[in-house]
Amino acid sequence: MSTFVQRTQSIATTVAISIAVALAGQSRAGTLDIADVPLFLQTGVQPNLIMAIDDSGSMDFEVLLPGNDGAAWFRHGTSDGCGATDDNSFNGCIANGTADVAAPGRINFNNDGNLDTDARPAPWEKYPYLFPNGTDGGSNSFQRRQPPDSHYALPPLPFIAWTRSPEFNTAYFDPAEMYLPWRSYSGATFANSSFTAARFDPVFGTSSDTINLSQDVAHKKVVGTVPSIRQVATSTSCTDGALGTEEADSGYTFQVFTGMTIPTGACIRIGTSWEVVRSSKTCQIGVTNGCDTNDEGTSRTRTIATDTPLPIRYYPATFYLSSPLPGSYGYTGATLSDGKAPDGSSLVGYEIKASNFTDSANYTAMAQNFANWFTYYRKRHQALRAGLGESFKDINGLRIDSFNINDGGNPNVTVADIGASGVRDALLTKFYQDSTGNGGTPNRYAVSNVIRNFRRTDASAPVNFSCQRNFGMLFTDGFTTPGTDFDALGNVDGTQPDPFKDNASGTMADGVLDAYQTRRLPNRTSQHSGGVSGHSVGLQQESAHELLCGHARHPRLAIQSGRQSAARSIYQRTCVACSLSTAAPISGR
């Protein structure tokens, strides 16, 4: 398995990058070499690939957890079978498929997916971010973020250290993996990110829209009228003069609620005053006079109300593991010993600082790896863009196009030979620059549009030859939003053998199987360059068992729907055998 495959699997398990990476594994050969294809089905006709890419709002998230939407959910009220036990917590309430049920030590799920927008008694708060750097609703902004008044950043606090651990948040930095820059092409060059000036996004924003990962982050600063993160050396004191007194901005803060505790020594800003939680004291949120601080030498007793946007100073290049790093990493500095896993067990925390390593080589390697992760893989859409670029940088022998699932209007794709002049560059530009957006996750619509495009009969339709192989891929991070695209089909796969049959009607799987069982184009008779006059060409059918379980199959439409269902592949054979010289073109095209 390549380093790239290992890396993307650990970054975004539920994002369907793995499908693209499967193609990437063949890229060095220069042709599309699909496994499990009998030799007699090999063809010189270029196959078609249509990709539906998830550009929903959740693709902007910085966490990938086993909860609804992959987010962290804080519960402060009753939800189905979850009551007072583990209330005011990120843990203890999972879903059984129909409702929330108590489960001590488990990460919250939130079965309904509802979030509290100050309309009590809704009990759930949604946390999908880790590094708040402002907010911009634009799809192509380095400050892109879902609304900060309902999509919060997780506080850098020990009791939720697991959100900064790759063992629980599979999108987070893993020191055991190697993170490489995106694949460059003629339209852009992607180099190693800088640890002291890491871009928030490889293409959005400018080269100065960066974060110094070797310094602390302390809320924001404003230069002229332009806000950005405020950074200071780790040795800088926690004072108003050093850290600024700008009004709290939810785009740069961490939302805190009753049940959360700020640890001793933390530097926080209460009102316009930066203060340190006093030694041997605590700072409990939502408790009257529950926060004991030191305000530049003066002891204070503060009250921090629940649902407060709180500026908290933190060191960004931090990660937690359940077991100590191997000695080969050269980390000999002090570790953070108060981090917790969801079940309350201890995690070991590491800060990537030069003073914590035996030599500069080990420090530089770790710092470089973290910087690359931050710039190129931190968000779900960045990991997806990385996978797409890697997969199609060198591959040939394929006609391809894509659309975003929130494009709407049933867009027609225009497949083209990826090796033709300008096609690959246009494709990679689309992947890197135009595959982010906002909206829901209309996966049913997306699959329906893939099928519709393969059924087109206009002059620009993707299918040109009867023996042409056609593939559809859906890249998504989660559950589909409601749709009616396949409702009328019924339970098409209900009579199929395991593991394909189910008891649900109108699913995406039903839609794909229906596409197989329904002939894409009518039988046609045409002359062609192979010299076989009057050759009748059409779609041949096989039994469902042979189709799904036989050894002589090849991919036709592969759909993966994130956590909702396993990848389902439907296969279709268009002819017994053909080559480019004998392939029958579709009449009238």
User: Measuring CA to CA, how many Å separate 364 from each of 21, 232, 331, 361?
Assistant: 29, 21, 12, 5
On whether residue 212 sits in a domain, the answer given is no
Residue pLDDT, tens place only, 201-243: 999 999 999 999 999 999 999 888 888 999 999 999 999 999 9
The first and second tokens of residue 483, run together, are 């749709």
- Helices 3-11 and 380-392, interaxial angle, to 10°? 160
For residue 274, what are the β-bridge partners? 269
179 and 376 Cβ atoms separated by less than 8 Å: yes
Note whether residue 328 is domain-resident.
Answer: no
Put the strands of the sheet holding 346-351 in their side by side order.
318-321, 346-351, 336-340
116 lies in some domain: no
Q: Convert the pLDDT of each residue in 381-404 to its tens digit.
A: 999 999 999 999 999 999 999 999
- The mean of the pLDDT values for the chain is 82
CA distance 538 to 312: 66
Looking at residue 520, its pLDDT comes to 56
Query: Is 491 inside a domain boundary?
Result: yes
Residue 48 belongs to a domain: yes
Least confidently predicted of 130-144, 155-169, 303-317, 332-346: 130-144
* Model pLDDT for residues 308-322, shown as the tens digit of each residue: 999 999 999 999 999
* Residue 279: predicted pLDDT: 86
Q: How far apart are CA 115 and CA 207, in angstroms?
A: 36
Give the domain CATH number at 385: 3.40.50
CB 508 within 8 A of CB 559: yes
Return the higher-pLDDT residue of 571 and 55: 55
CA distance linking residue 359 with residue 343, whole number of Å:
35
504 token code pair: 């649900």
Structural domain contains residue 24: yes
Name the β-bridge partners of 292: 301
Question: What tokens were used for 171?
Answer: 């999108």
State how far the alpha carbon of 517 is from the alpha carbons of 37, 451, 493, 573, in Å. 20, 12, 11, 11
- Min mean pLDDT across 29-38, 56-65, 189-198 is at 29-38
Burial class from Cβ neighbours inside 10 Å (0-12, 13-18, 19+) for residue 174 reads buried
At 379 the pLDDT is 96
DSSP 408-438: -S-PPP--EETTSTTHHHHHHHHHHHSS---
Which run of H or of E encompasses 485? Answer: none
Task: List, for residues 11-60, the tens digit of each pLDDT value.
Answer: 333 333 333 333 333 333 345 555 554 443 455 789 999 999 999 999 99
Q: Are 399 and 416 in contact (CB under 8 A)?
A: yes
Q: Does residue 174 belong to any structural domain of this protein?
A: no
> What share of the chain in percent tops pLDDT 90?
64
* Structural domain count of the chain: 1
- pLDDT range class, residue 147, cuts 50, 70, 90: confident
Domain that holds residue 429: 3-59+379-571
Residue 498 φ then ψ, to 5°: -60, 145
Cα dihedral value 304, 309, 315, 316, nearest 10: 150
Q: Which residue from 558, 553, 582 is spatially nearest to 570, judged by alpha carbons?
A: 558
In a domain, 544, yes or no: yes
Q: pLDDT tens, 414-463?
A: 999 999 999 999 999 999 999 998 889 999 999 999 999 999 999 999 99
Rounded Cα distance between 247 and 83, Å, is: 36
Reported as a single tens digit per residue, the pLDDT across 321-360 is 999 999 999 999 999 999 999 999 999 999 999 999 999 9
| Per-residue pLDDT, 135 | 86
- 555 vs 553: CA distance, rounded Å: 7
Radius of gyration of the chain (CA): 27
